[in-house]
Structure 1
Amino acid sequence: MTASLQLTDWTPSELKRPEDLQGASKDARGADWRGLRLDNQDLRDALLCRVDLRGTDLSSCRLDGADLRLARYDDSTKFPEGFDARSSGAVGPGARLNGAFLNGADLRGMDLRGANLMGTYLSGADLSGCLLDEVRLVGADLRHAVLQGARCRGARFSGCQLDFADFRGADLTEAGLEGIESIAGADFSLTTGLKDQVGVLQSHPYTELDCWNPMTRQNTRASLEDLR
C-alpha cells in the first residue's frame, strides 16, 4: 500500500535550499539561490530549472547531468572548472540559446550581452530592463514580447517577428532594424536612439503600421510619429 502524502512535511521546489537536496530526489526548480556559496554540494542530476544563480558560488559543486534550463546566472556566478554554463540551457551573459524555446519566459533585468539568440522563440517573454547590447536576435520570434526599458544598443533584429512587441522606453541606439519581418501592432513609444531610423520602420505596409495594440492602446504608426 502506498504511503499517503504528508503535506506538513512537503516543501515546494521553489523554496528548497541546497542543503535540502538529499538522496535521489533533487528538485529545486524555481528556487532563489542568489549570492549563496555552495561548498562541495552534490548536484548531479538535480532539477535546477529556473533557479536564480546570480552571484552564486558553485565552483566546488558537482553538476553532472543537472538540468539548468532557464536557470539565471551573471558575471559573478562561479561554475566548476570545465563546466560549460553557456551551453547548459541557462540564461545569462554569453549564453548559447539559438533556437531555444523561451516563450513566455520571465527574463526581466537579465544581462544577456554576448548571448546568441538567433532564431530563439521569445513570444510573450518579458525582457523588461534587459541588457541586449550587440545581441544578434536575427530570425527570433518576439511577438507579444515585452522589452520596456531594455537596452538594445547595436542589437540586430533582421528577420524578427515583432508583432505587438512592447518597446516603450527601450534604447535602440544603432540597432539593426532593416529586414524585420513584421512590426504589426509593435509600440515604439518613448524609445531613444531611434530618430534616424524611424523611416526604416515607417516603410512597412500600412496594414502593420495601423495595427492597434490593445495592451498599450496605441497603433504602430502613432508610436513612431511621436518620435519625429
Structure 2
Amino acid sequence: MSIRENFARPAVLLNPAAGEPTDADSHIGGPVLWPIDEPWPWCEGDGHYDINVKSEGVRLPFVGALQLYRRDFPELPFPEGTDLLQVFLCTVHHIGVGGPDVRLVWRDSSTVVELVEEEPEPSVQEEIYVPTVNVLEPIRFTEYAHPYDRPEELEDEEWPETSAGTKIGGWTCWWQTGPATFTCPECGAEQRQTLSLGTREPSGEHVEWAFGRDGNLNVLTCEKDVRHPFHVHVD
C-alpha cells in the first residue's frame, strides 16, 4: 500500500439537484417519513441567538433537512434494524454550535404505517439555514486527506482537493479551523465525519443554505455506536 492510499477514504457526494421528492425518497428538504403517533422533534430554545431577538428562548420545531435510505446509501453506518437516517435542523443560530442545532433519527421505515398529517413550521427561521428541496444524484469516489490531516512531510504534495460539497464520509474540508479531533463523550472512541452539509456544491446547484462563511456543517459520530452523542463542527 502506498503512503497516499493510507490517507484515502470512500465518500459519496450527494450532488443535489432540483426536483420533487416524496417521503419515500432520499432527498434534501421536502417531506419526511414521520409517523403520526411519534412526537415531532422540538428545540426548547436554549442557546438560540439572533440579532433581532425573535428566537431567544422560543420553542421551535426542528425542520426536516435530509433523509437518506439504506437502499440508496449503504455506506452510512446504519444501526441494526434501521434503514433510514433523518437529519433535522433547528433553523435559527445556536451560540454553542455556531450554526443550526442538529438532530439525527435512525429508524426502520417499515414500521411507519400512518404519516403525520402536517409537519409543524417554525414561527421564526433564519433563511440561511433553510434548505431548498432537492433530489440526489450521488457520485461515489475516493477522497484524499486535506493537507492539514497529513503528516508534515506530505502537506505540500499535490493530491486531489478535499470536496467541500454535501457528502457522506470522506475527510473534513478544513477551512477556517482545524485540524481537530473529537472523541465520544460516552465511550471515548473517536468520532469520525459521517455527514457534511456544504454551502457550495461542485456542480453549482447549491442548496441555498450557508454555514459559517461559505463553509460546511460537519456531523461526526462515534465509530463504535452512531447512537452515542454526536458532535457538530461548523467550519
Higher helix share: 1
User: Above 0.5 in TM-score?
Assistant: no
Structure with higher RCO (Cα < 8 A, 6+ apart) = 2
Q: Which has the larger radius of gyration?
A: 1
TM-score range, shorter chain: under 0.3
Higher strand share: 2
Give me the TM-score of the superposition, normalised by structure 1.
Answer: 0.17
